[in-house]
Amino acid sequence: MKLTAQLAWRFLKARRARSLFAVIGISLGVMLLIISQIMMATLEQSNEKSVLEKYGNFDLISGYNGSTKKLSANDLQTIKGFPDVNQITPMLFPYASENMPAAVAAQPVYIGFKHNQLAMEHPLVSIDKGEFPQSKEVVIPARYAKSKGLDIHSEISLPFPPGKDVNVRVSGILNEREQLNNIFIFDYDWIAAQTHNQNKATAVMMKLDQSADKQKVIEDLKEHFEGISIDKRKAMMTEKEQLGGLKPIVNGLSITVLLGSLLIVVSTLQMSVQERQKELATLRLLGGKPAQLFYMVIWEALLIGIMAALLGTVTGTVLCYSLSNIAEQFIGYSIQSISIPAISIIISFFGSILLTVLAATIPALSTSRLSPIAAYSQKISESKADSKRTIIALTMILLLLAIMTFSVHKSGGSGSFSILLGVSFVLIMFVMTPVILRIIVTVLTFLLRPFYQMESMIAGRNALKRMRRSQQIARVLTLAVIVGLVGFMILQAVVSQTEKTISKQYPLDYVIQATEASYEPGFSSSIIKQLDNTNGVEAIPVQTSILTHTINLDIKRVDSNWNGQFMTINGKKEILTSVGGLNLEKVQNIIPFDIVKGRIDHLRDYEAVITKQFSEDIGFRVGDVVTLEPDDLSEVSGKKPFTLRVVGVVDEVPILPDEDLRFFTNENTLNELFHLQKTEQIFFNIKDQSEKGHIKASIEKLLENPQYQDTILYDRKEEMDKFYQQYKQRIVLLGSSVFIITLIALVGLMNSMASNLRESKKEFAMMRAIGGKPWQIVRLALYEGIVISVAGSIMGLISSIVLGYNLLSALDVNNLEIPYMVILIILLISPLLGILSTLPSALWLSKSNLIRAVFED
């Protein structure tokens, strides 16, 4: 064994350049693997703090939120006694949504928290100014404080039915966020006593032991408490454990890059075997056993693997420190300090060496089966030609899979079956690489023949003659194209779908909202004119709607499956609705929507438009005259009933997608009926993005005017910006991985072409002897590199399109757009790779004395 190792080391040193290329190729894969492990550990550590700030450092919330049912003191003790529960703290919603008193319904939601560390972890307890409330104190929303002109130490009177109203002092103001706009926070013990809920809780927050089994706690809760709701905090766990989806992507790309490195190992060792035909034959003739030749190649792979693992690990670790600022800039995570996961790095180090050795078994087996006589006579031992039947069968399977792919995609996709189709196609493409490569090289040679007949023909033949060597490089290039193109297709599909979802949720980027916490909030409509006069602003005002209920509703026309609530008026069932003024024509011009029936333009007084859902649920149709009366909760209650004539039905109003029980009329109707000129919301876009900061600042300054103190501005574009940040993260990771795989392919191609040109020295010497010019030798060498790189890229494009179709079908993406521009870029880059990989060796060869070099060999 010692002699075998020594021979492997001598053979390794004999071809230093080739061995160096192999070490660099593998070390690139190891380097990316090490970088990904260190960066993910670092990002997880940095992300931990931001996730806990966003979601709170607790594990479960369980209770009866929205129900009149409460947890008793004994229930709380039972939960606290669960083996895996470390801490608990109760939450109290004294007035459930079921049968909520009208006086409380007009107020923000009352919530009671205990003043302890665990309660402070809840995202709702986000106090911007002031302190946690004590007895007879409250923390109020920033929006409410602004609308009422309140500040710390201000006093307000709040209802606490069935008891009397109570004067409470403002102890704090919540952060200015939309989700905090409608809550009051009280001391748990005080509000429990005030509402006769002592020793009761609506829900309970739980912090589990570090080694706790969350699922076991959930099962215990379900077993002890029937019908209890449980917030498992999946969103927090997903973001905490997977960095919003980055971790599986990074790990998957790292493994893919390492796979590309292993293909280089196979290619390099195959070249090593072919270049040492005589030496290996001599060893066999001197009595060397096949097992000794096998272990010699394994030893060579082990040495290459160790050197590559050392180089990749050191380089990757050093780069992590220098790349921390880039990661923070492009990936969007703040990095405080680099975290080194020692166990992961050790596993990656030895794992890469093991995989290198395993990859070497393919050329090692071919070496052990080497015929000494054939090798000594320089007849390269090639594998037997593939059976024609096998080739035809595999080709038919490929065609069948391709046809099935497009059929399944057209029919709407079929999840796991689509994935199986795509993966099967790619695997068969890899198995058939020699056959497909031969076909593509032949076609490329034919296409190049009219331009440079001799060079293209010889280059094609050389590429075909060295097919065993070329196919591994082609596979690496195919892998790079698959990762890049399929990754880009999936990202683009996700971007397109998410853009549609977010655009539906936030159709315009900004909204000015009333700060009143009432059923009919509003502010002065004079701001609309000022916005309309602001250059670059496109605004849609929404008039404050009034609460109404129907009179003489035809109950027979109401859909029996409607899950809304009826109210009893004069012994009859009626429904609660609202009536608001909105210029639907203006909305249609900015955000197009479907008009199902009737019209929306030129609405006259007392004409209204409803949504399709409203029409289907309640049974109103175009032409119906509906009688309405202001509800008791409305600020215009007591006014006379009025009628509206339905003249149009729309699919939904984009800026108010959840308003399915609203009558949309013109802005003059409410003014004529009730002298109401208030605005509830103003949606607007800033068309000129270069002026975005200036315009937004001027609008914020305008809202500081005392007459607009009951308004607040929200930048709803932040959600889209957050998504684009995630998209940029994935593009950076994908691009980095494709770049490294391409580098690996380039290193392997340079190694392969250097060996190819060394083998062809006799042919080139003959060309020089008959008058060939040095530039002709260079061009011939370049052609061979171009043919191999382009052939590998074409294989990758074919595989990517079929795999991409199937993966997108599995994701239910129906409108697939083939990225023609990316395909064109790949086709333009692939010949450049061939030129770069071949040019150094070709230039060296053209300047050397080939005839003397042949005689020296």
DSSP 734-748: HHHHHHHHHHHHHHH
Model confidence at 380, pLDDT cuts 50, 70, 90, reads very low
64 contacts 203 by C-beta, under 8 angstroms: yes
> What does each C-alpha distance from 730 to 46, 224, 588, 759 come to in angstroms?
18, 44, 35, 43
User: Residue 381: what pLDDT?
Assistant: 43
Task: Work out the number of other CB atoms within 10 angstroms of the CB of residue 244.
Answer: 18
Q: Which residue has the higher pLDDT, 610 or 300?
A: 610
Mean of pLDDT values over 90-94: 92
* Range 125-160 burial, b when 16+ CB lie within 10 A, else e: bbbeebebbeeebbbbbbbbbbbbeeeeeeebebbb
> How is residue 569 written in tokens?
């008026």
pLDDT for position 726: 66
Band the pLDDT of 720: cuts 50, 70, 90: low
Alpha carbons 839 and 832: distance in angstroms, whole number:
10
pLDDT the model gives residue 383? 42
Contacts of 390 by beta carbon, 8 Å cutoff, 6+ apart: none
What pLDDT is stored for residue 12 in this prediction?
67
Separation CA 27–CA 744 (nearest Å): 9
Dihedral sign, CA of 50, 51, 53, 54? Answer: positive
What's residue 102's pLDDT? 75
Q: Report residue 619's pLDDT band, with 50, 70 and 90 as the boundaries.
A: very high
Could you tell me which of 794, 744, 725 has the C-alpha nearest to residue 485? 794
Helix (H, G, I), strand (E, B) or coil at 511: strand
What's the whole-number mean pLDDT along residues 308-314? 87
From the list 92, 133, 137, the residue with the least C-alpha distance to 115 is 133
Report d(CA 763, CA 753) in Å as an integer.
15
* CA–CA separation, 486 and 473 (whole Å): 20
Q: What is the pLDDT of residue 712?
A: 79
CA distance 62 to 228: 7
- Strand intervals (E) in 125-182: 127-130, 137-140, 155-158, 166-174
- 276 DSSP 8-state letter: T
Sign of CA dihedral 639, 641, 643, 649: positive
Instruction: State yes or no: cis peptide before 162, omega within 30 of 0.
Output: yes
Kindly state the average pLDDT of the residues 762-777: 64
Burial 344-374, CB ≥16 within 10 A → b, else e:
bbeebbeebbebbbebbeebbebbbebebee
Cβ-Cβ contacts under 8 Å for 232 (sequence gap 6 or more): 60, 214, 218
Contact between residue 610 and residue 599 where contact means Cβ atoms under 8 Å apart: no
Q: Considering just the CA atoms, what is the radius of gyration of the chain in Å?
A: 37
pLDDT band at 665 (very low <50, low <70, confident <90, very high): very high
So what's the pLDDT on residue 14? 64
> Residue 37 has what pLDDT?
72
> Which range among 268-282, 344-358, 637-651, 833-847 shows the weakest confidence by mean pLDDT?
268-282
**Residue 855 CA from chain centroid, whole number:** 61
Q: What is the percentage of the chain residues whose pLDDT exceeds 90?
A: 17
Give the whole-angstrom CA distance, residue 412 versus residue 417.
12
Question: Which range has the worst mean pLDDT, 187-196, 369-378, 575-584, 832-841?
Answer: 369-378
Q: What is the DSSP letter of 201?
A: B
Spatial distance between the Cα atoms of 616 and 527, rounded to a whole number of angstroms: 37
Nearby residues of 354 by Cβ (< 8 Å), 6 or more positions away: 305
- Decide the pairing of beta strands 127-130 and 155-158: unpaired
Query: In this predicted model, what pLDDT tens digit does every residue of 317-352 receive, in sequence order?
Result: 887 777 666 655 555 555 556 777 788 788 878 887
**Structure-token pair, residue 653:** 């109003």
d(CA 468, CA 435): 11
Asked if residues 327 and 232 have their Cβ atoms less than 8 Å apart, the reply is no
Collapsed DSSP state (helix, strand, coil) of residue 292: helix
pLDDT at residue 206 is higher than 70: yes
In whole angstroms, give the CA distance from residue 68 to residue 458: 86
Residue type at position 451: F
Q: Are strands 166-174 and 127-130 parallel, antiparallel or unpaired?
A: antiparallel
d(CA 498, CA 611): 25
- Give the helix ranges, DSSP H, for 657-706: 667-674, 692-703
Task: Write down the mean pLDDT value for the chain.
Answer: 78
Nearest to 31 by CA among 325, 308, 351: 308
In Å, the largest CA–CA distance within the chain is: 114
Work out the percent of the chain whose per-residue pLDDT is above 70. Answer: 69
Higher local confidence (pLDDT), 451 or 101: 101
User: Among 327-336, 436-445, 562-571, which range has the highest average pLDDT?
Assistant: 562-571
Contacts of 97 by beta carbon, 8 Å cutoff, 6+ apart:
66
Instruction: Look at residue 652 and tell me whether its pLDDT is greater than 60.
Output: yes
Between residues 246 and 731, the one the model is more confident about: 731
Residue from 92, 144, 141 nearest 113 by CA: 92
| Pairing relationship of beta strands 166-174 and 155-158 according to DSSP bridges | antiparallel
Are 758 and 22 spatial neighbours (Cβ–Cβ below 8 Å)?
Answer: no
pLDDT of 626 strictly over 90: yes
Q: Angle 678-589-659 (CA atoms, 0-180°, nearest 5)? A: 50
pLDDT for residue 595: 93
- Of the listed ranges 43-52, 175-184, 317-326, the least confidently predicted one is 43-52
Q: By the 8 A CB rule, do 653 and 582 touch?
A: yes
Minimal CA–CA distance to 137: which of 95, 90, 190?
A: 190
